[in-house]
Structure 1
Amino acid sequence: MPQKLLEQEGLTSKEAQKRLLEYGENTLSAKKKSGPLKIFLGQFRDLMVIILLISTVLSVMMGEITEAITIIAIVLLNAVLGFVQEYRTEKTLEALKEMAAPAAQVVRDGEVVSVPASQMVVGDVFLLKAGDRVPADALILSSTNLYADESLLSGESEPVEKHPAKTLETDFGPGKLEAVYMGTVITKGRGKAIAAATGMESEMGKIAGMLDDIEEDPTPLQLKLDQLGKIVAIGCVGICAAVSVAGILRGENLFDMIITGISLAVAAVPEGLPAIVTISLALAVRRILKRNALVRKLHAVETLGCANVICSDKTGTLTENKMTVREVVTPDRRLTVAGENYADSAFFEDGKKFEAVSHQGLMSLLEIAAFCNNATASREKGGFGLKERWQTTGEPTEAAIQVLAAKAGVIPQELRWFREREIPFDSDRKMMTVVGGMGSRHRVFTKGAPDILLGRCTRYQDERGVHPLNEGVRSRILKENNRMAETALRVLGFAYRDASSIQGNLEEDLIFVGLAGMIDPPRPEAKAAVEKCRRAKIRPVMITGDHILTACAIAKDLGILREGDLTLTGKELDEMSDEALDRVVAKVSVFSRVNPGHKLRIVRALKKRGDIVAMTGDGVNDAPAIKEANIGVAMGGGTDVTKEASSIILLDNNFATLVAAIEEGRVIYQNIRKFIRYLLSCNIGEVVTMFVGMLMGMPVVLTPIQILLVNLVTDGLPAMALGMDPAQDDVMELSPRSSEESIFSGGLLGTIVFRGMLIGLTTLSMFVAFYRLYGGVEAARTGALMTLIVAQLFHVFECKSETHSLFGVPFFNNKKLIGAVMVSGGIAFLASENTWMRAIFQTIPLTLNQWLLVLGASLIAPILSALLLKLGREKPLENPVPMKTVRIPRSDSFGG
Structure 2
Amino acid sequence: MKRTIKDNEMLNKEIAERLIQSSTMMEEDLMEDLNTSPDGLTEAEARKRLDQYGKNVIAHEKTPAWYLQLLGCFKNPFILILIALGMFAYFTDDPEALITISTMVTISVIITFSQEFRSAKTAEKLKALVKTTATVTRINDDSNYEKKEVDLEVIVPGDVIHLAAGDMVPADIRLIASKDLHVGESALTGEAMPVEKMDTLPRGVFKLAHKHQPKPTNALELGNVCYMGTNVISGSAKGVVVSTGTKTYFGSMASTLIGTPTLTSFDKGIKSITFVLIRFMFIMVPIILLVNGFTKGDWWEALLFGVSVAVGLTPEMLPVIVSANLAKGAAVMARNKVVVKRLNAIQNFGAMNILCTDKTGTLTQDKIIMEKHLDIHGHEDKKVLEYAYLNSLHQTGLKNLLDVAILEHAELTEVLGAERNDKKVDEIPFDFNRRRMSVVLENSDIGHLLVCKGAMEEVLSICSHVDDNGQIEPITKEISEKAIMLVNELNADGLRVLAVAAKQFPVREETYGLKDEKGLTLIGYLAFLDPPKESAVEAIRALKENGVDVKVITGDNAAVTQKVCKDVGLPFTSIVLGSDIERMTDEQLADIAEKTNVFAKVNPLQKARIVRVLKGKGHTVGFMGDGINDAISLKEADVGISVDTAVDISKESADIILLEKSLMVLEKGIIEGRKTFGNIIKYIKMTASSNFGNMFSVLVASAFIPFMPMLPIHLLIQNLMYDISQLSIPWDQMDKEYLKTPKKWNAKSVSRFMVFIGPISSIFDITTYCLMWYVFSANSVEHESLFQSGWFIEGLLSQTLIVHMIRTRKIPFIQSRASLPVMLLTGAIMAFGITFPFTSFGSSVGLQPLPMSYFPWLVATLLSYCVLTQIIKTWYIRKFKEWL
For normalisation by structure 1, the TM-score amounts to: 0.62
Contact kept, 8 Å, 1:490 with 1:517, in 2: the verdict is yes
Q: What is the RMSD of the two structures over their aligned residues, measured on CA atoms? A: 6.1
Residue 711 of structure 1 corresponds to: 719
SS at match of 1:757: helix
Aligned pairs for 1:646-665 within 5 A: 646-665=654-673
Equivalent in the alignment of 2:307: 262
Q: Does 1:199 align with 2:226?
A: yes
- Deviation, 1:76, is 6.7
Flag the 1:36–1:126 CA change in 2: closer, same or farther, 3 A. Answer: closer
Query: Residue 404 of structure 2 aligns with which residue?
Result: 395
1:271 Cα offset (Å)? 1.6
- 1:632 is paired with a residue of what secondary structure? strand
Q: Deviations over 1:282-307 (max 9, x none)?
A: 22223323322122333222222222
**1:321 counterpart = 2:366:** yes
Mapped partners of 1:152, 1:206: distance in 2? 6
Which letter maps to 1:256? E
Residue pair 2:581, 2:589 contacting (<8 A) in 1 also: no
Match of 2:491 in 1: 485
Partners of 1:657 and 1:254 in 2: CA distance: 62
Say which SS state the counterpart of residue 709 (structure 2) adopts: coil
1:538 is aligned to: 548
Which of 492, 516, 524 is residue 534 of structure 2 equivalent to? 524
1:755-782 Cα offsets, whole Å, 9 max, x none, are: 2323432442343256417982222222
In 2, distance between residues paired with 1:599 and 1:653? Answer: 20
Q: Is the 8 A contact 2:184 2:233 kept in 1?
A: no
By how many angstroms is 1:318 displaced?
Answer: 3.5
Cα deviation for residue 860 of structure 1 reads: 1.9
Question: In the alignment, is residue 65 of structure 1 matched against residue 99 of structure 2?
Answer: yes
What SS is found at the alignment partner of 2:551?
A: strand
Residue 725 (1) aligns with residue 732 (2): yes
51-60 or 220-229, larger mean C-alpha shift: 51-60
Using the TM superposition, give the Cα deviation of residue 666 of structure 1 relative to its aligned residue in structure 2, in angstroms. 2.1
The corresponding residue for 1:756 is 761
Corresponding residue SS for 2:797: helix
Matched ranges for 1:626-775 at <5 A = 626-638=634-646, 642-717=650-725, 719-731=726-738, 733-734=740-741, 736-739=742-745, 741-744=747-750, 747-769=752-774, 771-772=776-777
Give the Å deviation of 1:241: 0.4
**How far apart are the structure 1 equivalents of 2:629 and 2:823?**
49
- 8 Å contact 1:701–1:781 — kept in the other structure? yes
How far does residue 258 in structure 1 lie from its aligned partner after superposition? 0.8
Aligned position for 2:864: 860
Show the 5 A alignment for 1:508-657. 518-544=528-554, 546=556, 550-551=560-561, 553-555=563-565, 557-558=567-568, 562-564=572-574, 566-568=576-578, 586=594, 589=597, 602-619=610-627, 622-623=630-631, 625-638=633-646, 642-657=650-665
Q: Return the offset for 1:695.
A: 0.3
Deviation at residue 217 of structure 1 after TM alignment: 1.9
The CA distance in 1 between the partners of 2:739 and 2:363, in whole Å, is 20
Distance in 2 (alpha carbons) for counterparts of 1:224 and 1:483: 53
* Corresponding letter in the other structure for 1:720: L
Q: Match for 2:783: what amino acid?
A: G
Q: What displacement does 1:706 show?
A: 1.6
> Is 1:801 paired with 2:805?
no
For 2:600 and 2:467, the matched residues in 1 are separated by 31
Q: Identify the range of structure 1 (91-100 vs 692-701) with the bigger mean alpha-carbon deviation.
A: 91-100
Structure 1 position 850 matched with structure 2 position 850: no
Flag the 1:55–1:563 CA change in 2: closer, same or farther, 3 A.
farther
Report the 3-state secondary structure (helix = DSSP H, G, I; strand = E; otherwise coil) of the residue aligned with 1:305.
helix
Q: For 1:380-459, what aligned pairs fall within 5 Å after superposition?
A: 395-397=404-406, 399=408, 422-423=417-418, 455-456=468-469
Letter matched to residue 99 of structure 2 = I
Moved more, 261-270 or 598-607: 598-607
- Contact 1:603–1:628 (CA under 8 A) maintained in structure 2: yes
Any idea what SS the aligned residue of 2:868 has? helix
* 3-state SS in 2 of match to 1:855: helix
How far apart are 1:859 and its partner, in Å?
Answer: 1.8
> What amino acid maps onto 2:666 in structure 1?
L
Counterpart of 2:791? 784
Cα distance between partner residues in 2 of 1:152 and 1:317: 26
Determine which of 827, 830, 837 is the counterpart of 1:832. 837
- After superposition, the C-alpha distances for 1:575-616 in whole angstroms (9 at most, x for unaligned) are 888788667655664566667666555544444444323233
**What runs of 5+ residues in structure 1 fail to find an aligned partner?**
1-9, 22-28, 106-115, 142-147, 154-172, 183-194, 335-360, 375-391, 403-411, 413-417, 431-447, 459-474, 494-513, 883-896
Separation (CA, whole Å) in 2 of partners of 1:92 and 1:694: 53
Is 1:13 aligned to 2:26, yes or no? yes
Query: Which residue of structure 2 lines up, in the alignment, with residue 292 of structure 1?
Result: 337
Q: State the Cα deviation string for residues 153-201 of structure 1 (Å, max 9, x = none).
A: 9xxxxxxxxxxxxxxxxxxx9899xx9999xxxxxxxxxxxx9753149
1:167-246 equivalence runs, <5 A:
197-200=224-227, 204=231, 212=257, 216-246=261-291
- Kindly provide the amino acid, as one letter, of the partner of residue 74 in structure 1: S
Amino acid at match of 1:199: C
Distance 2:25 2:691 in 1: 78
Q: Is the 8 A contact 2:532 2:568 kept in 1?
A: yes
Counterpart residue identity of residue 882, structure 2: P
Secondary structure in 1 matching 2:351: coil
Whole-Å separation in 2 of the counterparts to 1:637 and 1:127: 16
> Structure 2: how far apart are the matches of 1:227 and 1:519?
52
Q: Can you list the C-alpha shifts for 1:739-768, whole angstroms capped at 9, x where unaligned?
A: 5553516x4223332223234324423432
Q: Distance in 2 between matches of 1:772 and 1:234?
A: 37
CA–CA distance in structure 1, aligned partners of residues 569 and 796 of structure 2: 53
Distance 2:590 2:737 in 1: 33
Q: Is the 8 A contact 1:616 1:633 kept in 2?
A: yes
Q: 1:517-566, CA deviations, whole angstroms, 9 ceiling, x for partnerless residues? A: 54223333333333344444434334455556545544554466722453
Question: Partners of 1:584 and 1:738 in 2: how far apart?
Answer: 24
| Aligned match of 2:208 | none
Secondary structure of 1:250's partner? helix
Distance 1:555 1:45, change over 3 A: farther
Equivalents in 1 of 2:610, 2:656: separation in Å?
20
Contact 1:682-1:759 at 8 Å conserved across structures: no
More helix by share: 2
What letter is aligned with 2:695?
V
CA apart distance, 1:823: 1.3
| Conserved? CA contact 1:833–1:844, under 8 Å | yes
- The answer as to 2:868 corresponding to 1:880 is no
Distance 1:60 1:658, change over 3 A: farther
Query: In the TM superposition, what are the counterparts of 1:460-475 in structure 2 within 5 Å?
Result: none
Q: Is the Cα contact below 8 Å between 2:183 and 2:194 reproduced in 1?
A: no
- Gaps in structure 2 of 5+ consecutive residues: 1-22, 35-55, 140-154, 186-192, 201-221, 235-248, 391-400, 423-436, 441-453, 472-480, 500-523
What's the offset of the Cα at 1:259? 0.9
Structure 2 CA distance for partners of 1:818 and 1:87, relative to 1, 3 Å: closer
Conservation of the 8 A alpha-carbon contact between 1:555 and 1:561: yes
Distance in 1 of aligned mates of 2:59 and 2:592: 37
Q: How many Å separate the matches in 2 of 1:579 and 1:449?
A: 31
Residue identity matched to 2:339 = L
Shift in Å, 1:819? 1.3
**Paired residue type of 1:742:** K
What's the CA shift string for 1:404-444, capped at 9, x where partnerless?
xxxxxxxx8xxxxx9797435999999xxxxxxxxxxxxxx
Amino acid of the structure 1 residue aligned with 2:573: E
Q: Distance in 2 between matches of 1:855 and 1:787?
A: 9
Partner Cα distance (1:255, 1:294) in 2? 55
